[in-house]
Amino acid sequence: MNEEQKSLLLESSSRFLLSQGVKVSYGTAGFREDASILSSTVYRVGILAALRSLKTQSVIGVMITASHNKFSDNGVKIADPNGGMLSQHWEPFADKLANAPSPQQLLQLINEFVEKERIPFDGVRPAEILLGRDTRPSGEALLEAARQGVTSIVGAVASDMGILTTPQLHWMVRARNKGIKASEQDYFEQLTSSFRCLMDLIPTERKVFDGVNDKLVVDGANGVGGAKLRILHNLLNVLDMEVRNSSEDEGVLNDGVGADYVQKEKVAPRGFGSKDAGTRCASLDGDADRLVYFSVPPESNAQIDLVDGDKILSLFAVFIREQLSLLNEKEDIKNCGKARLGIVQTAYANGASTNYLKNLDLEVNLTPTGVKYLHEKAAEFDIGIYFEANGHGTILFSESFIEWLEVRSNMLSSGSKGSEAEKAALRLLAVSKLINQAVGDALSGVLLVEVILKHMGWSIHRWNELYIDLPSRQLKVKVADRTSVVTANAETVVVSPPGLQEAINAETAKYNQGRCFVRPSGTEDVVRVYAEASTQEAADTLANGVAKLVDQFLG
């Protein structure tokens, strides 16, 4: 770095001094803390994004959000060139950058990293950063801090994309780096056009919906997703949909509302009740990257019938499997896409969902907990579907398979117009454009769920009956040092301390359909216990028994 650059960094960083006693760590959610102490962190992430842009010679994104966290929190994370999360290789530098105690030490750290990574400052292609934020009041000032961080790198340009859902910003970054127009209007146009295409391809005999009530009511978590979904609804004008708990309504973000609340508590969000019995309902989280469905029982205060991320994954898998089968039935299609379809879950997926998918002869893979692991594994397939039970997930299509579909659908159009194989190819192409391949996206997810339900002719009740979840229980055991627990096999087997896994196996064997594993938390000094069994009482007892074992071995 030249003297001009060093001087600019020293001068600008002196306006964003680190709060005393604050130590942050970059994880799957980026940095998240109380908004009042985040200015320095967000400023430094702006610098990080500019350096990442110079290194990759690509557009990078910075999103200001705390997703499903409480209203007073905020956070910041980076979208890499492919629209995904920041490369794990850069996470340690992100931590050091955010925690550097003084402007001088910050400058030294940046200078050393620039030399080590050989980051070019030749001005051939200046850094370009897209900035977005959700509806939190703290977002405006934090976005300005990010902008000042970006522009502290000579020649770097920051573009404020406005109030967005997190997935919208990720989509924009991916689109820009693929040479595609990437405004919010472009996002809406791609979703609506691909949705209409799928609607037009619904078989005539399935257009009678097998549901008492065709209406969809969506809980927007009092966040940005509700307002954006209303825009989509108005553009489409073909769905009978009502959005409640939008950021435009009165209500506190994530307070008794949202996908995280609904999925964990298994109760209806605020504004929903027995009047909605029989109606198909859905819930987004605060920044609209998670989605769950549910139905409300007629009795007040009764638990909802939750249709979580595992069931969404299963619905998508059934539909895509059907389309691939139609393609494979066409004898004159060579090298088809005997496409490799892969399902990716974590061990927290309900065992009943995994068994259901395996019974469909689908390839199911387990990864450690964390979207970055799921996404990476799903990218190995021609079509990879991943979801967590919390409702975060998406579908990935390989570039080679999309190219094959485009060529094949054109060939089929000329030779056998209207064939089932042609329609299957066109459906899969439309899905690849409707789904957000950068990251889990509740808005595109809602549209895909709705069109697949219409395609299948299924009500939410028929969908929910694909399989019955095994009763489960999750517990946390407070420990002095969580790192003393080391796991393997996608966090399902304890390697250390010695003997703990054998004790867990012996305890689990006592219960019908028992399954149990433990893993260290990534954020707090606890060990997480997950247990399943044939009854809720058995699952609870198994979880408590294994929690006691953890306490004994680590006490």
What the chain holds in terms of domains, given with CATH numbers, is 3-163 (3.40.120.10), 204-304 (3.40.120.10), 310-464 (3.40.120), 472-554 (3.30.310.50)
Q: Is 521 annotated as a binding residue?
A: yes
Q: Is 210 annotated as a binding residue?
A: no
Q: Is 287 annotated as a binding residue?
A: yes
| pLDDT on residue 337 | 47
Hunting for tokens 């071995």 — which residue is that? 553
Cβ-proximal residues to 262 (8 Å cutoff; 6+ apart), any chain: 219, 268, 269, 283, 292, 294, 304, 306
Q: Is 126 annotated as a binding residue?
A: no
The answer to whether 300 touches 273, Cβ cutoff 8 Å, is yes
Distance CA 462, CA 180 (A): 39
The DSSP line for 402-430 is HHHHHHHHHHHHHHSTT-HHHHHHHHHHH
The answer to whether 13 touches 46, Cβ cutoff 8 Å, is no
Cβ-proximal residues to 178 (8 Å cutoff; 6+ apart), any chain: none
The dihedral region occupied by 409, where left means phi > 0, alpha psi between -120 and 50, and beta the remainder, is alpha
* E strand or H helix at 474: strand 472-478
| pLDDT on residue 236 | 93
Supply the pTM of this predicted model.
0.93
| pLDDT on residue 548 | 96
| pLDDT on residue 208 | 58
Instruction: Taking each helix axis as running N to C, give the angle between helix 103-117 and helix 3-13, from 0 to 180 degrees, rounded to the nearest 10.
Output: 140
User: Burial of 153 by CB count in 10 Å (0-12 exposed, 13-18 middle, 19+ buried)?
Assistant: buried
Give the pair of three-digit tokens for residue 553. 């071995």
Q: Is 528 annotated as a binding residue?
A: yes
67 classed as catalytic: yes
> Annotated catalytic residue: which of 12, 13, 53, 67?
67
The answer to whether 180 touches 186, Cβ cutoff 8 Å, is yes
Q: Is 459 annotated as a binding residue?
A: no
Tell me the C-alpha to C-alpha distance, in Å, between residue 502 and each of 253, 516, 553.
44, 12, 12
Return the closest-CA partner of residue 232 out of 447, 452, 435. 447
| pLDDT on residue 334 | 43
Q: Is 389 annotated as a binding residue?
A: yes
Below-50 pLDDT ranges, the chain: 211-212, 331-337, 414-416
Cβ-proximal residues to 141 (8 Å cutoff; 6+ apart), any chain: 39
Q: Is 522 annotated as a binding residue?
A: yes
